[in-house]
Structure 1
Amino acid sequence: MFFSIIIPLYNRPQEIKELLQTLTLQSYKNFEVLVIEDGSVNDAEEIVKSFVGQLDVRYFVKENAGQGFARNFAFERAKGDYFIIFDSDCLIPEDYLQIVNNSLTKNWLDAYGGPDDAHPSFTPTQKAISYSMTSPFTTGGIRGNKKGIGQFHPRSFNMGISRQVWEKAGGFIITRLAEDLEYSIRIHSLGFKIGLIPDAKVYHKRRTNFLQFYKQIHFFGRARINVYKFHPTQLKLIHFFPAFFTLSLLFTAISNIFNWRIAVLCNVILALIILLIFFHAWIKNKSAKIAFLSLVASFIQLTAYGLGFMQDFWKRIILKRS
């Protein structure tokens, strides 16, 4: 099988260098790489060209329109039987393509997604953010890297679709705000077979500090409402959990001022949540420091998502603004 690896890029030359370096180490060699520079000011042309001879790589430049439409641009030019999408801030294990090829040969999927993890070289903050984005105790547990919570939806940091899917479903119809989730839902609606390939993981850097992380997750909370506008049946009770959590923190704070009896119960529940996340992160990362940072990242994730969700729920659903 011939794969076309598609990577949209916006002002991240160093990241694409590290990603392409990991692709040169792939044990499976039957693939091409398409890098789409989406109107970057700080472009990566020279970096990408330095990999010519090591990779079958093509570099394109287009006006900025967002990652969804950059991927569409690549779909139209890809030669592969199967398209694989990565975010530019990923590192790819050397057996990734071999795992995907073996899995699709044994159990065909029209589209697939894979999990993400923290690389040993990541900073403690990046490892903490990775924990919060994959933990079963945060929204990370429902973002496409686990089985068992509703319909599986691949996400664009680690996602593959067959050429047949693209020919029938077309490309992305929105370019930001959960464009990958909307695309996955649409692929499902057309009857294609979608699944998780558990061993096809990538190392996803995500954000490098908590302020960037807050902004990203706030955006994700808003994005859930954007998906609702296209697919109303996809808004489930579980998607309200971060908003409930955020409101419960506010209620706990108010209770501590005005009603100590209620405050005692709220504080006990909050303490149990803190201990659960802290010790789970400690066991997973074998580091008290990363466990503490994971606790911070988890609370940022839940509240940022909750605030973004509530913001656009109020504006776009209650007030019906576009």
Structure 2
Amino acid sequence: MFFSIIIPLYNRPQEILELLETLVIQTYTQFEVIIIEDGSKLDAREIADQFKNRLDLHYYFKENGGQGFARNYGFERAKGDYFIIFDSDCLIPEDYLEIVCNYLYEHPLDAFGGPDAAHKSFTPLQKAISYAMTSPFTTGGIRGNKKHLGQFHPRSFNMGVSRKVYETVGGFKLTRLGEDIEYSIRIHNAGFKIGLIPNAKVYHKRRTSLSQFYKQLHFFGRARINIYKHFPSELKPVHFFPAIFTVGFAILILLNLFGCKLAYLGNAILGFYFSLLFLHSFYINKSFKIAILSIAAAFIQLTAYGLGFIQDFVKRVVFKK
């Protein structure tokens, strides 16, 4: 089984250096690496050249078109039986490809995804953000765990598709705003089998500041409405939770400002929720600092996603712009 690892890249040479270092030490070696530099001003050509004798590596530079279309560019040039997509800010465990290969032989899948986790080298903030994006007490809990709601949709930071899927369904139709979910839905609708490989995890750095994290999650909220515009049935009640939380928090602020007694109940519920996040994060990370930061990260995750969701719901669904 031969894999083509496809990595779109935009102005992140340091990230690709760290990612390639983790691919060099893979225990399963039947793979190639395709880097698509998507119109970067700060390119990684010199870094890619450093790995030409260590990996079966192919580096391409194209005009900027967005990550979805950059992946398509890689698909067109890939030789593998499976195409595996990573984000450039991921680190890959040395046994990742071995795990995927063994799983696919025992449980054949046409497309697959895996979970993400925090690496021991991550900063406390990166670990807190990772917690927020994977915790069962936030919406992150449905994105890559063994138990999930509804159909499993692989995410593009850790996603694989067979050559047959690509030849039948094609590549990404969207370049951003939920392009991976839209692609997964089309794969499902074409009758292919998609599944989670529970142990095929990657270490996903995500964002290095809370402000960057806010922008990313606001974008994710908008992306959910973009998916709805293409597939209305894919908007589920769970997707409204961040928006409900955001509106509820705004109401709670007003109740406190006006001294309403109902605010006491709201404060108690919010305090209980934040305590639950703190205790769970502390149990997982064994760090008081990370547990405190996890509360902030989870709050930003919910409100940023909620505001992005509300913004585009009003604009594109209510006013149909």
- 1:204-242 Cα offsets, whole Å, 9 max, x none, are 000000000000000000000000011000000110000
Normalising by structure 2, what TM-score?
A: 0.99
Answering whether residue 283 of structure 2 is matched by residue 283 of structure 1, we say yes
Counterpart amino acid of residue 185 in structure 1 = I
SS at match of 2:40: coil
Distance verdict in 2 for CA 1:273–1:206, change over 3 Å: same
Aligned to 1:255: 255
- Determine the C-alpha separation between the residues in 2 that align with 1:118 and 1:273: 23
- Determine the C-alpha separation between the residues in 1 that align with 2:74 and 2:128: 33
Output aligned runs, 1:283-322, within 5 Å.
283-321=283-321
Q: What's the CA shift for 1:251? A: 1.0
Output aligned runs, 1:230-241, within 5 Å.
230-241=230-241
- Determine the C-alpha separation between the residues in 2 that align with 1:28 and 1:100: 10
Does the Cα contact within 8 Å between 2:115 and 2:143 map onto a contact in 1? no
Aligned to 1:110: 110
- 1:184-205 Cα offsets, whole Å, 9 max, x none, are 0110011100000000000000
Q: What's the CA shift for 1:311? A: 0.1
Aligned to 2:76: 76
Counterpart amino acid of residue 249 in structure 1 = F
Aligned to 1:142: 142
Aligned to 2:28: 28
- Determine the C-alpha separation between the residues in 2 that align with 1:137 and 1:120: 22
- 1:41-73 Cα offsets, whole Å, 9 max, x none, are 000001001101100000000000000000000
Normalising by structure 1, what TM-score?
A: 0.99
Counterpart amino acid of residue 78 in structure 2 = A
SS at match of 1:174: coil
Output aligned runs, 1:43-122, within 5 Å.
43-122=43-122
Q: What's the CA shift for 1:146? A: 4.1
Output aligned runs, 1:91-240, within 5 Å.
91-240=91-240
Counterpart amino acid of residue 46 in structure 1 = E
* Count of aligned residue pairs for this structure pair: 321
Task: Quote the sequence identity (%).
Answer: 68
- 1:50-100 Cα offsets, whole Å, 9 max, x none, are 101100000000000000000000100000011000000000000000000
Structure 2 unpaired stretches of 5+: none
Counterpart amino acid of residue 167 in structure 1 = E
Runs of 4+, deviation exceeding 2 Å: 142-148, 257-260
Counterpart amino acid of residue 5 in structure 1 = I
Q: What's the CA shift for 1:260? A: 2.9
- Determine the C-alpha separation between the residues in 1 that align with 2:106 and 2:3: 17
Counterpart amino acid of residue 161 in structure 1 = V
- Determine the C-alpha separation between the residues in 2 that align with 1:292 and 1:6: 36
- Determine the C-alpha separation between the residues in 2 that align with 1:178 and 1:148: 18
Q: What's the CA shift for 1:258? A: 2.4
Q: What's the CA shift for 1:109? A: 0.4
Counterpart amino acid of residue 181 in structure 2 = L
Q: What's the CA shift for 1:269? A: 0.6
- Determine the C-alpha separation between the residues in 2 that align with 1:279 and 1:251: 26
- Determine the C-alpha separation between the residues in 1 that align with 2:260 and 2:68: 50
Q: What's the CA shift for 1:259? A: 4.6
- Determine the C-alpha separation between the residues in 2 that align with 1:48 and 1:121: 23
Counterpart amino acid of residue 149 in structure 2 = I
SS at match of 1:88: coil
Counterpart amino acid of residue 126 in structure 1 = Q
What is the RMSD computed on CA atoms of the aligned residues? 0.7
- Determine the C-alpha separation between the residues in 1 that align with 2:303 and 2:148: 24
Counterpart amino acid of residue 316 in structure 2 = R
- Determine the C-alpha separation between the residues in 2 that align with 1:182 and 1:80: 23
